[in-house]
Amino acid sequence: MSDDHTSSDSKLTTSKRRWAAEGKFLTGRISRPETERLPPGQHLVKTWPVLDLGQQPLISTETWRLEVRGLVETPLDLTWAAFQALEQSTKVTDIHCVTTWSRYDNKWKGVSTRDLLDHAMPKPEALCVMLTSYDGYTTNLPLSDFAAEDAILATSWEGLPLTRDHGGPMRLVVPNLYFWKSAKWLRRIDLLPADAAGFWEKNGYHMHGDPWREQRYSGD
């Protein structure tokens, strides 16, 4: 999981399926990021919890690749050097994990998703994105969320290279959605004409995942 994910049928995976079935953590409140910084049901932490299940792929920058495929005018197959040669951006954003923790003011450096899309040139019929990670994890989101102003393909956190346990050498960060949508160890980005469920979405989690609407599970 992107700090919430795995492709194995582990104990935590089983627990999270049960949470989805039971509606665990739901408060029933709706808030707005314009007026409230902390979404309903969340609590603040100062650390950055690592919620993986022992599957942390080891990816060297010599073999790393990022593909952008599907409904784009210019498919991309980027090496690490080519990715680093793209315009670099810095973003400061919050994290909201579906397991109820939030962390404020995380400083990221990497490539803005908008800058990446400028190179790939999405076709007009592209509406959604499917993300695939090196460990086989998948998650979906609307293209509009992937292209949000503060979304970034991060290689650095708080001035240091992104560590393996947090998705290094590169992960997606989409601050306006629950953090399982921000795939770790990102390998491939497919632009699609319609939405399709990824790993957690097939296992009871919401197709969109808006923290301020408390969209934790598929029935919310």
Looking at residue 29, its pLDDT comes to: 63
219: in domain:
no
For the stretch 3-17, pLDDT in tens is 554 444 555 566 555
CA atoms within 13 A on the CB side of 77: 1
What tens digit of pLDDT does each residue of 141-167 get? 999 999 999 999 999 999 999 999 999
Q: What is the pLDDT of residue 6?
A: 44
Q: Could you give the angle at the alpha carbon of 208 between the alpha carbons of 25 and 78, nearest 5°?
A: 120
Expressed as residue numbers, the domain containing 149 is 11-48+61-213
As for how many domains the chain has, the answer is 1
Any domain includes 3: no
Q: Give the CATH number of the domain where residue 41 resides.
A: 3.90.420.10
Is 198 among the domain residues? yes
User: According to the model, what pLDDT value does residue 216 have?
Assistant: 96
Q: What DSSP string describes 148-216?
A: -TT-EEEEEETTEEPPGGGTTT-EEE-TTS-GGGS-SSEEEEEEESS----TTGGGTB-SS--GGGT--
Model pTM score: 0.86
Residue 101 within a domain: yes
How much is the pLDDT for 61?
97
For residue 220, tell me if it sits in a domain.
no
